[in-house]
Amino acid sequence: MLDLVFLAFIAYVLVLGIKRPFVWVLLYVYIDIVAPQRIGYSLITSLPVSLIAFAAAFGGWLVLDRKEGARFTARQALLVMLLAYCWWTTGSADFPEEAATKWDWVWKALLFAIFLPFTLTTRARIEGLALTLVLSVATIVIGTGIKTVLGGGGYGSLNFFVNDNSGIYESSTLATVSIALIPMIWWFTRFGTIFRPHWMVTGFAAALTFACLLVPIGTEARTGLVCIAVLAVLLLRYVRRRALFIAAAGVLGLAALPFLPQSYYERMATITQPSGDESASTRVAVWEWTIDYAKEHPFGGGFDAYRGNSFTYVMPVREGEGNTSSVRYKKVTDEGRAYHSAIFELLGEQGWPGLAIWLMLQGLGVVQMERIVRRWKGQGDETPDEREAWIAPMAVALQLASLVYFVGALFQGIGYQPVMLMIIGLQIGLATYCKRLDSARAGLARSAKAGAGRARRKAASPGAVAAG
C-alpha cells in the first residue's frame, strides 16, 4: 500500500512536469532526501526511481528549458574540481572496494549540485527548490518531533522511516540539517509566493521549528545541541530586540529542562568531558591519526581511508551503583574508526588539495551571501522594492544554513551531504539571479547616461538651439 502511495506521488509529479519540466528537478530533490525507495517494501524498491527522476530532470532541462540566464560560475568550477579530484583519488584508494561504494553516491550528489544552479533562473524556481527542501526534510522531522514528544526518543533508539543510519537518516546529520533549515522555514512566513503569508503558514512554521528543535533532543545528538547554540548566537545579528531574544531563549531553555530525560543530560555532559565517552574520546585520537596520515599521504588516501587506522587509549569506566560506584581505567583499542569530522574526512580522503577546495566552496558561499545581503537589504531606512525584498532575507537564511552546517560538520563526517550540496546549489542560483538583475540595471543606467550625454551635447551645439 505504502509503495503504491509513493509511486502514485512520483507519477503525479512526473505528469506535472509535462507542463513545467523544472518540477522534475524538484522530484529528484525529494527522492534524494526522503528516499521513498528505501522506505517502501516491495515494488518501489526494485524500481530505479532516483535514476528516472534524474533522467527526467536533466533531459527536461536539456531539451525543454529556455536556459535563459544560466551561467557557469566559479563555485561550480570548484565543484567540478572536487568531483574530478575525488575520481582520481578513488582510482588509487587504500581500500578500493569501500572507496568505490562511497564514490557511487558522492559523484551523483556532486554532479547534481553542479547541475542545479543551471535550472535556478527565476525567483519562482529558487523558492520552489527551497520549499521542496524544507518540506522534504519536514516529512522526516515531523514524525521525529511527534515521537520525541510522546517519549519515543533516545540515543540510537529513535526510529525514523529508514533505520540504516545513513544519509540524512543518521541522527546527528538529521539534527544538523533540521537546525540549519530553521531560518529558511521562517523566510516563507514573510516572502513565500507558493504558499502566501497567512496565519496557517506561520503556525506550520512554528510547529516545524519546534519539531526541528526536538530532533537533537529525541536523537540525543550532541552536535544538534551545539548547532542550536550556534544558530542562536548567529541570529543575534539579525533580531531587532536582542535583549528580548536572549531572555526568551533563556526562559524557553529553562522551561524545557524538566521535560528532558536523564539520559539526555548524561550524554550532553560528555560534550565538556569527552574522555568519559568512547565516541567522543576517539574523535580526538582519529583526528590526530588523520593529521599524521596526511603527512605521509598529502594527496589523500581515497574514500574510507580511515579504515586503516588503529589506536589504543585509556578510557575511564564507571562501575557499581550509588555510593559504591568506582572508576576504573581500561585500555581500549579501536580499529577503523570513522573521521567524525568533515574537515578530517576531506583531509584523510582527498588530502590537502581536496580539503582546500572544500573549504573554499564553503567559505565563498558565506562571503557571497554576505555580499548579497549588503547589496539587497536596502539603503539606510529605505526598504527595497517589494519584488526584491525577498533577496536579502533568503541570502541570510542560506548563509546561516551554511554556517550551522559547517559547525555541525566539524563533528561529523558529512563533507558530501547531498542536502548541504543542494544548499550550495541554491546559493549559486541566488547569486546568479542577483547578478542578472544587476547587469540588467547596469544596462539601463548605461543607456540613460549615454542618452543624457547626447542630450547635453545637442543642447550645447548652436545647431541644436536653432533646431529647437
In the complex, what is the shortest distance from the CB of residue 23 to another protein, in angstroms, rounded to a whole number? Answer: 5
Which one of 79, 82, 83, 138 is in contact with another protein (CB under 8 A)? 138
Query: Which cell goes with 288?
Result: 590526530
In the complex, what is the shortest distance from the CB of residue 385 to another protein, in angstroms, rounded to a whole number? Answer: 5
- C-beta of 20 vs 108, nearer to another protein: 20
In whole angstroms, give the CA distance from residue 287 to residue 45. 37
Q: Does 12 bind another protein (CB under 8 A)?
A: yes
Rg of the chain, C-alpha, whole Å: 25
The half-sphere exposure of 341 on its side-chain side, counting CA atoms within 13 A, is: 20
Which one of 17, 153, 301, 429 is in contact with another protein (CB under 8 A)? 17
Query: Which cell goes with 434?
Result: 542577483
Residue pair 154/202 in contact (Cβ under 8 Å)? The answer is no
The single-letter code of the amino acid at 41 is Y
Q: Does 50 bind another protein (CB under 8 A)?
A: no
Which one of 125, 307, 375, 377 is in contact with another protein (CB under 8 A)? 125
| Choices 141-149, 172-180, 334-342, 393-401; region in contact with another protein by CB under 8 A | 141-149
Q: How many chain residues are in contact with another protein, going by CB under 8 A?
A: 63
Which one of 113, 135, 226, 407 is in contact with another protein (CB under 8 A)? 135
Cα torsion through 266, 267, 272, 278, rounded to 10: 120
Q: Does 124 bind another protein (CB under 8 A)?
A: yes
- C-beta of 97 vs 385, nearer to another protein: 385
Query: Which cell goes with 110?
Result: 556532486
In the complex, what is the shortest distance from the CB of residue 308 to another protein, in angstroms, rounded to a whole number? Answer: 39
| Choices 93-101, 167-175, 344-352, 432-440; region in contact with another protein by CB under 8 A | 432-440
| Choices 71-79, 116-124, 274-282, 347-355; region in contact with another protein by CB under 8 A | 116-124
In the complex, what is the shortest distance from the CB of residue 228 to another protein, in angstroms, rounded to a whole number? Answer: 22
Q: Does 110 bind another protein (CB under 8 A)?
A: no
In the complex, what is the shortest distance from the CB of residue 443 to another protein, in angstroms, rounded to a whole number? Answer: 4
In the complex, what is the shortest distance from the CB of residue 8 to another protein, in angstroms, rounded to a whole number? Answer: 10
Query: Which cell goes with 228?
Result: 542550536
Residue pair 269/260 in contact (Cβ under 8 Å)? The answer is no
Nearest to 122 by CA among 223, 171, 193, 178: 193
Q: How far is CA 250 from CA 125, 186, 245, 247, 255, in A?
A: 38, 21, 8, 5, 8
The secondary structure element, H or E, covering residue 330 is strand 326-335
Which one of 28, 30, 187, 303 is in contact with another protein (CB under 8 A)? 30
- C-beta of 363 vs 451, nearer to another protein: 451
In whole angstroms, give the CA distance from residue 120 to residue 429. 5
Helices vs. strands in the chain: H and E counts, helices first: 19, 2
Query: Which cell goes with 370?
Result: 554576505
In the complex, what is the shortest distance from the CB of residue 19 to another protein, in angstroms, rounded to a whole number? Answer: 5
The secondary structure element, H or E, covering residue 334 is strand 326-335
- C-beta of 336 vs 451, nearer to another protein: 451
In whole angstroms, give the CA distance from residue 294 to residue 301. 8
Q: Does 261 bind another protein (CB under 8 A)?
A: no
Query: Which cell goes with 392?
Result: 536579502
Which one of 26, 305, 407, 424 is in contact with another protein (CB under 8 A)? 26
Which one of 116, 131, 395, 431 is in contact with another protein (CB under 8 A)? 131
In the complex, what is the shortest distance from the CB of residue 48 to another protein, in angstroms, rounded to a whole number? Answer: 21
Tell me if residue 187 falls in helix, strand or coil. helix
- C-beta of 82 vs 428, nearer to another protein: 428
Tell me if residue 9 falls in helix, strand or coil. helix
| Choices 128-136, 236-244, 339-347, 406-414; region in contact with another protein by CB under 8 A | 128-136
* Residue 312 β-bridge partners: 333
Site for another protein in 191-210 (CB under 8 A): 194-195
Query: Which cell goes with 317?
Result: 569506566
Residue pair 168/174 in contact (Cβ under 8 Å)? The answer is yes
In whole angstroms, give the CA distance from residue 274 to residue 28. 39
**What residues line the site for another protein (CB under 8 A)?**
2, 5, 9, 12-13, 16-17, 19-20, 22-23, 26, 30, 34, 39, 65-66, 68-69, 121-125, 128, 131-132, 135-136, 138-140, 142-143, 146-147, 150, 161, 194-195, 384-385, 387-388, 433, 436-437, 440-441, 443-445, 447-452, 454-455, 458, 467-468
